[in-house]
């Protein structure tokens, strides 16, 4: 539940923030006639994302068991790669996001180009939407579907509320702190997702497990129980992991976590302090 909540909160806020910045820029430029183009772009992006989600579910459900395991394993590994890139990219871009969006909107508004603004809104939202589909598919397959659904809906609702608050000027948000906190949580989730993906590929005999079960904790903390399912969805808990899963999990967590925690020290002298984002 918590992993899907963080995913939709973060991805949804990124999309809502960009749309809010676009609308606020149009308001300042007195170009409200172009707002309709923005919402058309947003609607098209939502439609594409929903279609992609349905396609993922139908494709996975129609595959035989072994190919289904391979599909889930590969999808999980791809999600880890995209998620890792997104964490670092957004962490570095958050300090410049508002300025970059304002510049693009000002240019499009100056040209009177509703088409350009529609494409800008579509590109921003569809990217977040497709990422969310991929991450949620991996999250749903690795945890309980009901709790993951509840978490995803709650995260999305809060993201929309935060985005509206920023646009309305009633809320300020320090993006660097927000993306640092959610990035740290998602790194832990990604480590578990990596282990889960390798587990599925191991079950399909695509990769060697090295040692099938390093330990078995299911007698103490069952991964199918309430607490075990929660830890499985958030941390990638496996009561009887293979040696390959253990190595992959801790290697990813230590390497990526160290790089992520060390990022501020490497960029501190090159970047100005981040100001909270607000719209008026």
Q: What phi and psi, each to the nearest 5 degrees, are found at residue 201?
A: -70, -35
Cβ neighbourhood burial of 49 (10 Å; 0-12, 13-18, 19+) = buried
What pLDDT does residue 12 have?
Answer: 86
What is the C-alpha to C-alpha distance for residues 231 and 1, in angstroms, rounded to an integer?
Answer: 10
What pLDDT does residue 271 have?
Answer: 47
Render pLDDT for 37-49 as a digit per residue (tens, 0 to 9). Answer: 889 999 999 999 9
How wide is the angle at C-alpha 231 spanned by C-alphas 229 and 235, nearest 5°?
A: 130
Give this prediction's pTM.
0.76
* Short-list 6, 12, 18, 16, CA closest to 182: 6
Positions of the chain with pLDDT lower than 70, given as ranges: 1-2, 29, 31, 93-114, 142-145, 169-173, 175, 233-234, 263-280
Question: Which residues lie below 8 Å from residue 51, measured CB to CB, with a gap of 6+?
Answer: none
Question: Which residues lie below 8 Å from residue 84, measured CB to CB, with a gap of 6+?
Answer: 187, 190, 256
Q: Where are the domains of the chain?
A: 2-267
What pLDDT does residue 243 have?
Answer: 94
Render pLDDT for 62-86 as a digit per residue (tens, 0 to 9). Answer: 888 888 888 888 988 999 999 899 8
């Amino acid at each position: 539940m918590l992993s899907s909540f963080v995913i939709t909160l973060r991805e949804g806020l990124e999309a809502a923030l960009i749309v809010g910045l676009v609308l606020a820029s149009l308001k300042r430029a007195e170009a409200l006639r172009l707002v309709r183009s923005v919402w058309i772009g947003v609607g098209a992006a939502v439609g594409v994302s929903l279609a992609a989600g349905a396609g993922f579910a139908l494709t996975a459900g129609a595959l035989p068991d072994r190919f289904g395991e391979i599909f889930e394993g590969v999808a999980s590994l791809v999600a880890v790669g995209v998620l890792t890139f997104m964490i670092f990219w957004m962490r570095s871009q958050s300090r410049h996001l508002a300025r970059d969006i304002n510049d693009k909107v000002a240019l499009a508004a100056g040209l009177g180009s509703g088409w350009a603004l529609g494409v800008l809104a579509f590109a921003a939202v569809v990217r977040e939407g497709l990422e969310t589909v991929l991450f949620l598919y991996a999250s749903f397959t690795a945890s309980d579907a009901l709790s993951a659904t509840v978490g995803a809906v709650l995260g999305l609702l809060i993201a929309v509320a935060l985005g509206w608050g920023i646009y309305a000027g009633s809320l300020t948000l320090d993006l660097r702190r927000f993306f640092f906190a959610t990035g740290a949580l998602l790194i832990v989730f990604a480590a578990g997702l990596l282990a889960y993906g390798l587990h599925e590929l191991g079950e399909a005999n695509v990769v060697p497990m090295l040692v099938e079960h390093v330990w078995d904790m299911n007698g103490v903390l069952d991964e199918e129980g309430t607490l075990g399912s929660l830890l499985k969805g958030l941390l990638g808990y496996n009561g009887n992991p293979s040696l390959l899963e253990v190595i992959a999990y801790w290697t990813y967590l230590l390497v990526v976590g160290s790089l992520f925690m060390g990022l501020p020290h490497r960029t501190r002298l090159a970047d100005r302090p981040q100001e909270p984002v607000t719209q008026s």
